[in-house]
Amino acid sequence: MFFDPMYLLYIAPALLLALWAQWRVKSTYAVAQQMPAPLSGAAAARHILDSAGLQSVAIEQIPGHLSDHYDPRDKVLRLSPEVYQNRSLAAVGIAAHESGHALQDAHAYVPLTIRNAIVPVAGFGSNAGVWMIFIGLVFQPLQFLAYVGIALFAVAVFFQVVNLPVEFNASSRAKAQLVDLGIINTQELTYVDKVLDAAAWTYVAGTLQSIMILLYYLTRLNSSRD
């Protein structure tokens, strides 16, 4: 199943989109990283959070390249060194985006609530589900496992779909806050906009890939029944 040419045919569009998105992220980030900003990424995030009354949300520096994320369980914004320390439009844009997730959490943004609720099942489904599908397709007496695996993998796909509005909304909140709070002006927003839009395309590519893999599994399962 893993060497089926049809599998590559199904996921080829998503892979090409992902390669293009990664290239765009690197190129736009490189340009925006050279553009100075009045605040560091950590300071910009702190300003956004405090202005929203979220003084209780901590900001931590963590190792890794662009490992930035918001942890809704611990209410902590974790930023990579290049975002935490640097005073660039790239840094404040990414920090603001992660702050956008904290704002979503504080306002009980529904897609984020749904996403957080299905994280454990989605993580299990994207791994165990694939193996259950494989076993069910190879061993006909255990074909029922393929159906269970597809159901689990479908949850992972649903997670990806729900994650899209979460990421797009976080970017919208970030760009609005950066301008409204006077951290950057509308001309500087152009660079931030390009970085966040490029990052959004990586999520689109990941979602498309998950959907196409699910369709491939469904096709294989239908073929095995005929």
82 is catalytic: no
Which of 82, 98, 167, 188 is labelled catalytic? Answer: 98
The pLDDT of residue 144 is: 87
Residues in a beta bridge with 33: none
The pLDDT of residue 1 is: 45
Per the structure, the count of domains in the chain is 1
Per-residue pLDDT of the chain (226 residues; tens, 9 = 90+): 456 788 889 999 999 999 999 999 999 999 999 999 999 999 999 999 999 999 999 999 999 998 999 999 999 999 999 999 999 999 999 999 999 999 999 999 999 999 999 998 888 888 888 889 888 888 877 888 989 999 999 999 999 999 999 999 999 999 999 999 999 999 999 999 999 999 999 999 999 999 999 999 999 888 876 5
Residue 98 structural domain: 5-225
Could you tell me the pTM of the whole model?
0.89
